[in-house]
Amino acid sequence: MKTTNTKHSRNFTILMAILTMLFVANTCLQAAEQVADSQQEILPTGKEVVERNIVASGGYEAFAKLENRTAKATIIINPAGIKGKITTCHEKSGKIRVRMNMEGLGIIDKGYDGQAFWEKNPMTGPRLVDGKERAMMVLLTQFNPTEYEDHYQKIENIGTETVAGTDCYMVRFTPKTIKAFTVWFSIESALEVKREMTIYNQMGELEMEMRNYDYREVDGIKIPFKTISRGFNMEEVITLSRVVHNQELPENRFTLPNEIKQLVARSEKKVSSR
């Protein structure tokens, strides 16, 4: 009897313990939800975080003064230890030219002349960029960060998270044609700390993580002088050595290389013959 009572008591105790736990858990959940709700109430919107970032990065006036930016950087791809040098030139119209001189791989040229996104690679040859890769590049090559709104269906602040000791807002950007991506902005500095996004290229999609370091001010604009990107089991470290704004650019800076012009002509011919 005693045993049964004990067993019964134990079972009851266990049941009570479980019920209590559930009750407590539920209460905790409710409390947590209330806390979350209250936090939700005080979380800035996604757009507000972006606006803070723009201000922290230099502000509308400073960005409006930029006509172009040229930069030089070094790159190393690990674990293979492949090194290279990069020069970029980016204009407020969105035109861009990037040249990467990679040891052992040669010179890779990429660009946008206002109409065609293109690439010339010593291995794979010249090509025009289209589809989702182009849509991604349209997004990423916009020169003035203050002109962002039209590119996204939604910009949402989805919460907070700590990244390498830095408390951040997580902002989810949903572009109109490609996958949504997330950017972590420091709550304190409002600068971008990390981003996770799908990178599109001719071979497919890669999930990449990018982290920014060593912000420095150039002409009133804060720029990360070091970026580490990880994906496909590799890591790229890009380190800026020089950033210059509003240089006088040669007229042909963004002119398409001959092979690219020929590809454009071929592409136009295909379209018109359909």
Partner 1 sequence: MKSKSSKSRTSIWINSSIIVLALLIASGLGTGCSMLRSYTEPQLTNEERASNLESFELVWSTIRDKHWDPDLAGLDWQAVHDQVLPQVEQARTSRQYDHAIRGMLKRFEQSHFALLPKDVYKDMNVSDGKGKRDGKTGIKVRFIGQQLLVTEVEKDSSAAKMGIQPGWEIRKIDGDSVAKHIRRLERVFKDKPNLFVLVSNSSARNKLRGEGGTNKTIVFRDGSNRTRKLDVPLLANTEEKYRLGAMPGMIVKFEARRLEGNIGYITFDSFMDPVRIMPQFEKAIKSFADCDGIIIDVRGNLGGLPGIAMGIAGWLVDDEQEYFGTLRTRDSELRLVVNPRLNVYQGKVAILIDGMSVSCAEIFPAGLRDMGRAQLFGTITAGQVLAATFMDLPNGYFLMFPFADYISKNGDRFEGIGVTPDVEVDHTRADLLSGRDNALHAAMLWINEETTASDSDTLVGLK
By CB under 8 A, the residues from 196 to 235 that bind partner 1 are 197, 199-208, 210, 212, 215, 221-224, 227, 229, 231-234
Q: Which residues are CB-contacts of 111 (< 8 A; sequence separation ≥ 6)?
A: 95, 96, 97, 98, 117, 118, 254, 256, 260
Place of tokens 């035109």: 95
**Among 62, 135, 155, 170, which residue interacts with partner 1 (rule: CB under 8 A)?**
155
Counting contacts by CB under 8 A, is residue 53 touching partner 1?
yes
Sites for partner 1 among residues 122-141 (CB under 8 A):
122-127, 133, 137, 139-141
Asked if 82 touches partner 1 (CB under 8 A), the answer is yes
Tokens encoding 107: 């010179």
Tokens of 189: 């500095």
Minimum CB distance to partner 1, residue 35 (Å): 28
116, 121, 220, 255: which one binds partner 1 (CB under 8 A): 121
Using CB under 8 A, pick the residue from 70, 238, 254, 256 that binds partner 1: 238
**CB closer to partner 1, 151 vs 179:** 151
Say whether residue 192 binds partner 1 (CB under 8 A).
Answer: yes
- Does position 56 interact with partner 1 (CB under 8 A)? The reply is yes
Q: Is 45 in the site for partner 1 (CB under 8 A)?
A: no
Can you tell me the distance from the alpha carbon of 274 to that of 270, in angstroms, rounded to the nearest whole number?
7
Choices 4-12, 27-35, 93-101, 248-256 (CB under 8 A): range interacting with partner 1: 93-101
* Closer residue to partner 1 (CB): 258 or 272: 258
Q: Does 83 bind partner 1 (CB under 8 A)?
A: yes
Q: What are phi and psi of 147, to 5 degrees?
A: -100, 65
* Helix segments in 43-66, DSSP class H: 46-57, 60-64
Residue 188 binds to partner 1 (criterion: CB under 8 A): no
Stretch binding partner 1 (CB under 8 A), from 36-44, 158-166, 244-252, 260-268: 260-268
Q: How many whole angstroms separate alpha carbon 19 and alpha carbon 238?
A: 55
Residue 271 in contact with partner 1, rule: CB under 8 A: no
CA distance 71 to 242: 5
Q: How far apart are CA 184 and CA 107, in angstroms?
A: 33
Cβ atoms of 60 and 54 within 8 Å: the answer is: yes
Examine residue 170 and tell whether it contacts partner 1 (CB under 8 A): no
As a whole number of angstroms, the distance between CA 266 and CA 274 comes to 13
- Quick check: 190 and 56 in contact, CB under 8 A? yes
6 is a contact residue toward partner 1 (CB under 8 A): no
* Cis previous bond, 250, omega within 30: no
When asked if residue 87 is in the footprint of partner 1 (CB under 8 A), the reply is no
Closest CB 2 distance from partner 1, rounded Å: 48
